[in-house]
Structure 1
Amino acid sequence: MQTHTCFLLSYVKFGDNDAFLHCFSADAGYQSFFAKGLYLSKNKKKPYLFPLNQLAVSVVKAGASKKIPTVSKLELAAEYVEVKDVRMQSILFFAAEFLHQILREEQQNDVAFEAISMFREDIKNNNFNAHINLLVRFLGISGVAPLTNDYKFLDPESGNFTHEIAHPLFTEEISQIWKTFLMTENIGEISLIRDSRNSFLDSLLIYYHQHFFGFYTPNSLAVLRQIFE
């Protein structure tokens, strides 16, 4: 039996009572597990299925003919923090969907695991920039963050700052926000007003489209925007 400490990225109900869990674990990176009987009325673990909950998943090692290990025990791996604010809930769902596509091929990565932990702290502290901070951190983790210089405009395709605007969304104001995040050691202290937050998030998603093959805008973005209106 093996036990993995992991963050829940997504889950899919299978049949009437079972589910597949997709997680990012501290020791093995992206992992999928089969949870049998999770939806049975006597099973009290279904409330654990909330985006980016930290779980302790004990599994029976899969045999040669079975690729996905079966969960034998499911517990919370950290203190449970109930997120009641619907705005923070929408940020959690957006972040989990983003991470699910970014981390699908990722092996063990302590820095990535710590970045998710930092995101959870931002959520706990009701930081409405939590998802922004997460996306910025993962650019650095992935090695595609822009390098700063004295030019005013960020070119999202090349990842360089230039003297002329290269994309209509990457104005001098938005490019300056990029520089602020890139040059600030503790980005959790940066505060953005709603309009700037929305525009900067749009620019981040464009940058991800340019630098991550097959990247798509999370479907939960529409809900996130609606809730913050």
Structure 2
Amino acid sequence: MNSQNGFLLSFIKYGENDAVMHCFTEDEGFQTYFLKGIYSKKNKKKALLQPLNKLSFSVNPIKGNGISSVSRFELVKNHDIYTDIKANTVIFFISDFLSQILKYENKNTSIYLSIDAFMNELTHKNYQAHLLFLMVILKIQGVAPLLSEGKFLDPETGTFTTHSTHQLFGEEVSLIWKTAMTTENFYTIKIHSALRKEFLDSLLVYYHYHITDFKTPASLEIIQQIFE
């Protein structure tokens, strides 16, 4: 048996009382665990199954061709933001996003710490944190844009050019990208509310070009409605 800390990305009910969890752990990256009896009437820990909750759990060894099972788990840090509808919507969007792009990711301390930092930003009601977090991930993955003199970002090449190559990457949106690339702490950047939807759309276009098999998160429509 070994102990792990990790962020819960998603979970699926299995049978009447059990669940399968997908987590991004500190020591082993993306992992899938079987959680027995979590939905039984006497089990009060089902309330801990919230996307991006940071959990500590004891993991039993794999038997045969199955998946590891969790014998015990506890909440590491209580952010207490799930009753905030804006924060909750952001969390579901990012957990949806991470479930997709991290499913083949091994141990990556930078990504693990970046999820922690993102949750701290949400705790302080930074409701644009998800936009900047997507930039953080691009930088960690080594596919962020390269700086140059141009005013327009070309999403396909990841370079700035002297003329626009995509309708979503006008001068204002491209400037946000360039500002992020030259700012040490992304979360200090302020994005005008009128540009947030367009900037998010530009981020997703960029991900389609640079992250293999990327698909737009199903929760995109919800987050756009909340922040209209």
In the other structure, the counterpart of 1:128 is 127
In the other structure, the counterpart of 2:157 is 158
Aligned positions of 1:184-195 closer than 5 A:
184-195=183-194
Whether contact under 8 Å (2:146, 2:159) holds in the other structure is yes
Following TM superposition, by how much is the alpha carbon of 1:78 offset from its aligned partner in structure 2, in angstroms? 2.1
In the other structure, the counterpart of 1:50 is 50
Distance in 2 (CA, whole Å) between partners of 1:48 and 1:181 is 34
Aligned positions of 1:103-122 closer than 5 A:
103-122=102-121
In the other structure, the counterpart of 1:206 is 205
Unmatched 5+ residue regions in structure 2? none
Q: C-alpha offsets along residues 172-211 of structure 1, whole Å, 9 cap, x if unaligned?
A: 1111111011111111111112221111111000000001
Distance in 1 (CA, whole Å) between partners of 2:75 and 2:113 is 17
Aligned positions of 1:7-46 closer than 5 A:
7-46=7-46
Whether contact under 8 Å (2:9, 2:98) holds in the other structure is yes
Distance in 1 (CA, whole Å) between partners of 2:92 and 2:150 is 36
Whether contact under 8 Å (2:8, 2:53) holds in the other structure is yes
Distance in 1 (CA, whole Å) between partners of 2:128 and 2:27 is 28
2:8 match: secondary structure: strand
Query: What is the RMSD of the two structures over their aligned residues, measured on CA atoms?
Result: 1.0
Identity %: 45
Unmatched 5+ residue regions in structure 1? none
2:44 match: secondary structure: coil
Give the residue type in structure 1 aligned to 2:127. Answer: F
Distance in 2 (CA, whole Å) between partners of 1:82 and 1:137 is 22
Distance in 2 (CA, whole Å) between partners of 1:124 and 1:57 is 23
Q: C-alpha offsets along residues 68-97 of structure 1, whole Å, 9 cap, x if unaligned?
A: 111100111224524321011000000001
